[in-house]
Amino acid sequence: MFENIRIVLVNTSHPGNIGGAARAIKNMGLSRLYLVSPKEYPADRAVWRAANALDVLDNAVVVETLDEAIGGCALVVGTSARDRRIPWPLLNPRECGERVWQESASHDVAIIFGREDRGLTNDELHKCTYHVHIPSNPEYSSLNLAAAVQVLCYEVRMASLVDAEGLIPALTEWDVPPARAEDLEMYFQHLEQALVDIGFHDRDNPRQTMARLRRLYSRIRLDEMELSILRGVLTAIQNFAFKMKKLTGSSENK
């Protein structure tokens, strides 16, 4: 099950933190590290801090975009230090460990960590099923990146140990597999376009429409069949808008 868990570091500045994260990952029995556009990598400092976890570094997958890193995952948890304008379903680290461990039995999951100085962007956080917040001193809350990886991987390991004692209930049985991150992302693109087409949404004045819709659909944990139905609905809406435009000679959208 540990093999289905990806630790994703986004846009890391200091290679030492990549090494420290690799070590924490291996210490806790995990192995899969994804690096999204690291600023400086490969680097000697990463190797130095990784100590005997060089295999984790060697097998790390370096990608350009977050979407590539979470492709295939049906659960994506994003670390968040701040209160967001739009609150997202939030886990504490213990709940995160339990959920990640549970779901890793049936599909790939990812925990994503942001930049040392600014964390994850709102766009990145809106790709997540859940957010997780490590409780910290309100007056000094900026955990070192490798330390944050350590805490969340530790909670996954603790969950696995508690699970071995039969204390974590199994996930509810479900007839259809959960939708994967890339399919959800395509759906959100499709949804936004459809909303533009019908004049509901203005990309030049987006307000929080898409963020709220992303949160809503992320919370449902759509399965593949449901997603396919929703996309069918969008296509139907777009066909309707297209015919309207042809009939009236203009879109309702200014």
Interface with a second copy by CB under 8 A: which residues? 20, 23-24, 26-29, 51-53, 92-94, 134-137, 140-144, 146-147, 150-151, 154, 157-158, 161
Inter-residue contact 36 to 22 (CB < 8 Å): no
> Least distance in Å: CB of 136 to a second copy?
5
Q: Which is nearer to a second copy, 133 or 231 (CB)?
A: 133
> Least distance in Å: CB of 105 to a second copy?
19
Residues in the chain: 254
Q: Which is nearer to a second copy, 82 or 94 (CB)?
A: 94
Q: Which is nearer to a second copy, 29 or 232 (CB)?
A: 29
> Least distance in Å: CB of 238 to a second copy?
48
Tell me the CA distances in angstroms from 77 to 5, 15, 232, one per residue in order: 11, 23, 27
Q: Residues near 106 by Cβ (< 8 Å), separated by ≥ 6?
A: 171, 177
Inter-residue contact 179 to 109 (CB < 8 Å): no
Tell me the CA distances in angstroms from 9 to 6, 86, 247, 253, one per residue in order: 10, 23, 50, 39
Q: Which is nearer to a second copy, 23 or 127 (CB)?
A: 23
Rounded Cα distance between 140 and 82, Å, is: 12
Tell me the CA distances in angstroms from 68 to 9, 10, 156, 191, one per residue in order: 12, 11, 23, 21
Q: Which is nearer to a second copy, 100 or 194 (CB)?
A: 100
Q: What's the sign of the alpha-carbon dihedral 72, 208, 217, 131?
A: positive
> Least distance in Å: CB of 141 to a second copy?
7
> Least distance in Å: CB of 139 to a second copy?
8
